[in-house]
Amino acid sequence: MNPKQISSKSKKPLPASFFIVVSYENEEAYYRLKEKAEDTFSQALYESKPLPKWTHQFENFLDSPIGRFTRILSLKRRISREELPSLQKECTKFQTTLRKSDESIRILPGYLTPYNLVLASLEEDLHRIYMFHGVFAEIIYTYQGQKWIPQSSASEFFKHPEVLYFFTNLRESYVSSLEKR
């Protein structure tokens, strides 16, 4: 092997597509969140229709109920992957504020790349990697054979056809925008 072929420089990955999953009960709280997200992060790129209810495996132990509605909001701004803990922190602030009008609201930030979809979490588990500031990262999907493959640890929400359809379209849009660079 030629020593010139081995590079000691690490290459920064391309910016990722940023999205948030929102579980809620009150439509007004969702639209207030959307407005806050657009003011803070960037204009919305895509917004899902109401999707199947997001659930949590330990729902009975959570500090508040889970809302009946779930939507995904993708934002135009591309992010560096290491921003995920800061974005989680900002989403937690939104969630705390919005819980005054909807105690069930949950905001789950994540990012999408051509190869996988990652979700932030504040909970440690065997399949999550610690980043920093109390935030863990979990791979939800990997892209294989021209489709998203949900990981066995992914919430049932991510296995619904409507959710897979949304993220497939988001990936196509994202990959197309990379090709135009």
Instruction: Quick: pLDDT tens for 30-85.
Output: 999 999 999 999 999 999 999 988 776 554 445 556 778 999 999 999 999 999 99
Helix (H, G, I), strand (E, B) or coil at 59: helix
- The domain segmentation of the chain, as residue ranges, is 16-180
Write down the pLDDT at residue 47.
Answer: 97
Which pLDDT tens digit goes with each residue over 84-123?
999 999 999 999 999 999 999 999 999 999 999 999 998 8
Write down the pLDDT at residue 61.
Answer: 47
Q: Which tokens go with 71?
A: 């939507």
Residue 121 bridge partners (DSSP): 136
Query: Exposed, middle or buried, 69 (CB in 10 Å: 0-12/13-18/19+)?
Result: middle
Query: Exposed, middle or buried, 100 (CB in 10 Å: 0-12/13-18/19+)?
Result: exposed
Indicate the pTM of the whole model: 0.89
Q: Which tokens go with 132?
A: 């920093």
Around Cβ 135, how many Cβ atoms within 10 Å?
A: 19
Helix (H, G, I), strand (E, B) or coil at 72: strand
Write down the pLDDT at residue 126.
Answer: 85
